[in-house]
Amino acid sequence: MSLCGQVWTITSGEHRAEIAEVGAGLRRYTVGDDDVTCHYGDDELPPKGCGTTLVPWPNRIRGGRYTLDGVSQQLGLTEPDKGNAIHGLGRWARWSLLEQAADRVRLGLDVVPQKGYPFEVHAEVHYALDADGLSVELSGRNDGRTHAPFGMGSHPYLSTRGTPLDDVVLTVPVGETFEVDDQQIPLRRRPLGDDEDFRAGSRLGDRRFDQGFTDVRFEDVDPPAEAQAVARLRGDGFSTSLWLDDAFGFLQVYTVDEVAPGQSGVAFEPMSCAPDAFNSGDGLLLLEPGQTWSGRWGIAPS
C-alpha cells in the first residue's frame, strides 16, 4: 500500500483523478497527458499539504490554543517551527469509502472527541468528474451533544504545466487581505496593496504568496444556479480555473516554486473561515447538535 493509503481512480472521458485515502486528498488530476494539478507518488507523503482536506479547521490556530464557553483547549502543534496547529485533524487520517462509481467517489471521516477538540464531527468529501472538470463537495455534521467549533477547506495545487512561476498570470477574486504576525496569524483585515491586487489578472513575476484573503467576489452563474467566485492560473498555452461557492468566504493563495521535484504550482485554498478563526471568530461556525454545513468548489481546465 502507498504512503497515502488506498487510491481510488475516477474518470470521465479524458479527465482522470486519483483520490487518496489518507487526508481524502486529490493526489492527481489530469486531462489527457496534461497534469492539471501537482501530484505525488506512492512512496511520498503529500508534499506541502498537496491536495488534502482540512477539517475541522483550515489553516492555522495560534499556539494550538483557543477558548470556547470559558474552557481553554490545547491542540498538538503540527507546525512546530511557527508554534501553530495547522490544517485540522483529518489531514493524516484514513478516510472511509462511502460511495464509488466510475466518475465519482465519496469519503467520510468521524472526527472523534480528543484532547484539544472534545467534539464529535462527521465530515465528508465527494469528488466527481464530468466533461467540464472536477467538482468537490465538502460537508460536516455535528454528531455530538454540544455545539462544536468548525471550519473546512481544501488544499489543491494547480500545476503551472512547465511554465516558470514568474511567468504565470493569476486572477484572484478578492478585495481584502490580512495583516499577519511572524506566526502568519491575522492581526486585522486591510485593503489590498498594489502588489497584491490580482483581480484583473496579473503576471506573478518575482512576487510570492502564502497569504489569506477575504471579501471574496461572488457572482451569480447559471449553470449551476449558485453564486461563484473564480480564481485563474494562466500559463504557456493553458488556463485553469478554480471556482468556489459562497460557503467559502476566504481563500489562501500559496505560490510554490517546487511543490515536488520539477513541479511548480499555485494553491488556491477554499476556506470556510479565516486563519485562527477558533480565536478570532472570523467566519467560524458553531455547529449545533445535528447541524450540517456544506460547500462546493471545483477545477475547470482549458
Q: Which domain holds residue 225?
A: 7-301
pLDDT band at 50; cut points 50, 70, 90: very high
Q: Is residue 1 assigned to a domain?
A: no
Q: What is the CATH number of the domain that holds 32?
A: 2.70.98.10
Residue 247 lies in a domain: yes
Total number of domains constituting the chain: 1
Task: Provide the pLDDT for residue 223.
Answer: 56
Q: Could you tell me if residue 2 is inside a domain?
A: no
Q: What percentage of the chain reaches a pLDDT higher than 70?
A: 98
The three-state DSSP-derived secondary structure of 72-141 is EEECCCCECCCCEEECECCCCCECEEEEEECCEEEEEEEECCECCECCCEEEEEEEEEECCEEEEEEEEE
Q: Cell numbers 481563500 correspond to what residue?
A: 251
Checking if the pLDDT of 269 tops 90, the result is yes
Task: Note whether 11 and 18 are within 8 A (CB).
Answer: no
Per-residue model confidence as pLDDT tens digits over 219-261: 876 655 568 999 999 999 999 999 999 999 999 999 999 999 9
pTM, full prediction: 0.96
The answer to whether residue 67 is domain-embedded is: yes
Give the rounded distance of the alpha carbon of 18 from its chain centre: 16
Q: Residue 191 domain-assigned? A: yes
Helix (H) or strand (E) holding 34: strand 34-35
Mean pLDDT of 172-178: 98
DSSP annotation of 167: G
The three-state secondary structure class of 302 is coil
| 113 found inside a domain | yes
pLDDT recorded at residue 162: 95
Each residue of 227-242: b (16+ CB within 10 Å) or e? Answer: ebbbbbbbbeebebbb
Give the integer Cα–Cα distance in Å for 228 and 268: 14
Alpha carbons 150 and 188: distance in angstroms, whole number: 21
Question: pLDDT tens, 57-116?
Answer: 999 999 999 999 999 999 999 999 999 999 999 999 999 999 999 999 999 999 999 999
User: Quick check: is 225 in a domain?
Assistant: yes
Tell me, what DSSP letter sits at residue 196? G
Over range 170-192, report the average pLDDT: 97
Whole-angstrom Cα distance, residue 80 to residue 63?
9
- Whether 121 maps to a domain, the answer reads yes
Return the ∠ at Cα 55 (arms to 179 and 176), rounded to 5°: 25
